[in-house]
Structure 1
Amino acid sequence: MTQAAVHRPLIVGDLDDPHVQAVRVALTARGARPVILDLESVMTAGLSISDDRMVLRIDGESLDLAERRGGWLRRMHRAPWGLGIETGSVEALELGTWHSAFTWMLDGEGISWVTSPQTLRRAEGKLEQWKAARRLGIDYPRTLVTSSAEDVQAEFHDDVIVKPLGSGQFLQGGEVKTVYAEKMAPGDPRLSNLREAPFIVQELVDAQRHLRVVTVGDQVWVAALTTSSADPADWRRTVANHVAFVEAPDAIPCVATGATAIADELALGYSSQDWVQTPEGRTVLLDVNPSGQWLFLPDAIGLGVAGALADRIMVK
């Protein structure tokens, strides 16, 4: 790896993303000059692929992705990208072509990633996470993926959590909407909508504390949010919760051990995971976010994670 590549690591993400900025600051403090780009910026500046070069033109300079360097993939593109585009239109064809070319470049051998793009795409799959947890013996909610309301009633007798299997975002009236996890009874009439697309249906786990567990390699940070039965099933729906997590060094050790185990099983150099702790002491893994957020956690965790990511990028 050349000195130029060592000092020009790649961050794929939106320059305005505070997580991107946090890692940029940490890299700069270590003497690096990271290149930050995403699909939107590449579409503006252009690219070229030849037998021995993969060149992006960013801010007036050429960046050859065939030259080895460390990299971190935060987000391939911004949330609204491609939403609302008519299938089969010329614009859809153009966007698909840009996406294919950029994805192919990132999948090349030149970049040594914190987590490779191929691994990231696979690990984002909820079915993959479910099966990985089962392989490892990690406590995971009883789960059904179905398009049948009748199957929900046959499988569950108590309240369940229903959440999307695929993307949780869509465009409505020009505004990006989020599909949150919803608590429902097995006989809820809304479950008839499952026939439109399969959803994940899980047992409702009584959460006394929500745990956000962040891993970078074998390093682990745990923060906790105490909730009550009156709170929404998805803690994100309460604005105050986004600043209410506290460091939790007393978290049950098996949470940290389980978090690193599943991150390793999914080959994730970084992960942001959601666990819950029940009043009875049961600890349950709910979700693995291969490129999720961490800056809403206490400052010490935020700085620690950004620094650990920068160190991992620099040694790649």
Structure 2
Amino acid sequence: MAWKFGQMLLALAVLAALIALLLFAASRARGKHGDTVRAIFFVGPTLVLVAVGLIWPTILTIVQSVRGASGSGAFSLVNYASIFTRDDLRQSIINTAVWVLLVPVLAIGIGLLYAIIVDRTPIESVAKTLIFMPMAISMVGASVIWKFVYEYRPTQAPQIGLLNQFLKTFGLDTQQFLIEFPWNNLFLIVVMIWIQAGFAMTVLSAAIKAIPEDIIEAAKIDGATGWSLFRFVTLPSIRASLIMVLTTIAIAALKVFDIVRTMTGGNFRTSVVANDFYSSSFTQNQPGLGSALAVLLFVLVSPIIFYNVRQLRQVS
């Protein structure tokens, strides 16, 4: 144990020495190309880390995805064929699409509604704190909380699940919310919306507050009130923030894993692409198929990221 701790300290010391050496060399750069040399010294290590930690693993994943289910055979597209022909994997893709369609729209809708309702009210700070609080909880922690909310026991038995206790109070039979397809997927989606609505509210509320007062006053003078003021003044003014929140939540929904893994384990037709990637790679001994699913996620996420970057550049 002491030897491993010593190795860690030695590695940190070597890393610190290398960084100090690079900074010293950069500070000594002079002459016509001094700025270029300093830029290389400062940016170079970052580029190396990106190449080692991101680009090289991506290449290895792509190569492994075209070498059979084991990831070590001859060139084959069988993994990609399996993704679109196996019923369970196709269901995972459909479930992922439902997550991406519903979570951003509902989370932004609820967050925007919160932002408008509590804006400049006496309880604004308290209300926003309570709404944002789920963002401070990990996905696993939120999943455990909501698993108790959905907990099922027979109608005659004492209930510990909040939702089933509510049904029993009104004389209704208790339900197994996490088992009954397709509604179980919607109950899982509620957890992500609960978490992300606070994030959407915070960003959109700040964007609304940044709208110049003279624009709002001018619109009111022109007769804009209520819905027309929101549609023609507020929405266009916060468009950049809306796009940022939309793409951010969409990416989170596309990669969702913790909620599904914790609450259902991907059973009862609730699995998503990220969960199948984990299962294939680490529990089913099919790293090639897992790599293909990882590549699929990368392909699906990339257009959203590129669109977000493009929109941010246009705004700036």
Q: Give the TM-score, by structure 1 length.
A: 0.24
The structure that has the greater radius of gyration is: 2
Identify the structure with the greater helix proportion: 2
Identify the structure with the greater strand proportion: 1
Q: Give the TM-score, by structure 2 length.
A: 0.24
